[in-house]
Amino acid sequence: MSKVVAHIDGASQIEYDRSKPLPEQQQAYLDKMDADMDRGIVLGGVQVAQPDLQQKAQFIAQALAEAIRDDNEPVAAATLSWLANRLPDLKQVKIKDMGDGRMGYELIFDREFAPENRVQFFKPEDLERQ
């Protein structure tokens, strides 16, 4: 499958389809993001002067989680595009609300996204009332 899905609690928030070519202007923007990060990033409160690909991915994934929380679609689209293009084996970004406005994430490489099917359980007495 060529899609990368960012989701919260099993509900897809945004998807990126690798089978569709990225326009040249958007590719240039991803390259600019790399150049900006090459000048240093703050990751987990620590300044990283020369981040490697893994550190950049963590930084971008955090930005993606925050963009989704803030309903910032342009930033969510750009950050998911960066992750999908720089991490070719990435299949999903699992995002979790950590409380107090903090967002967490997990990068998943080994399985495709499948929406969660929630099962509603009833107590026997609830069924009798129906």
- pLDDT value at 107 more than 80: yes
The per-residue pLDDT for 3 is 93
Question: What does pTM read for this prediction?
Answer: 0.84
CB 33 within 8 A of CB 78: yes
14-40 per-position pLDDT tens digit: 999 999 999 999 999 999 999 999 999
Q: Are strands 3-8 and 92-99 parallel, antiparallel or unpaired?
A: parallel
Overall number of domains in the chain: 1
Q: For residue 90, count other CB atoms closer than 10 A to its CB.
A: 20
What residue numbers bound the domain in which 121 lies? Answer: 3-129
User: CA–CA separation, 119 vs 76, rounded Å?
Assistant: 30
DSSP string over 75-109? HHHHHHHHHHHH-TT--EEEEEEEETTEEEEEEE-
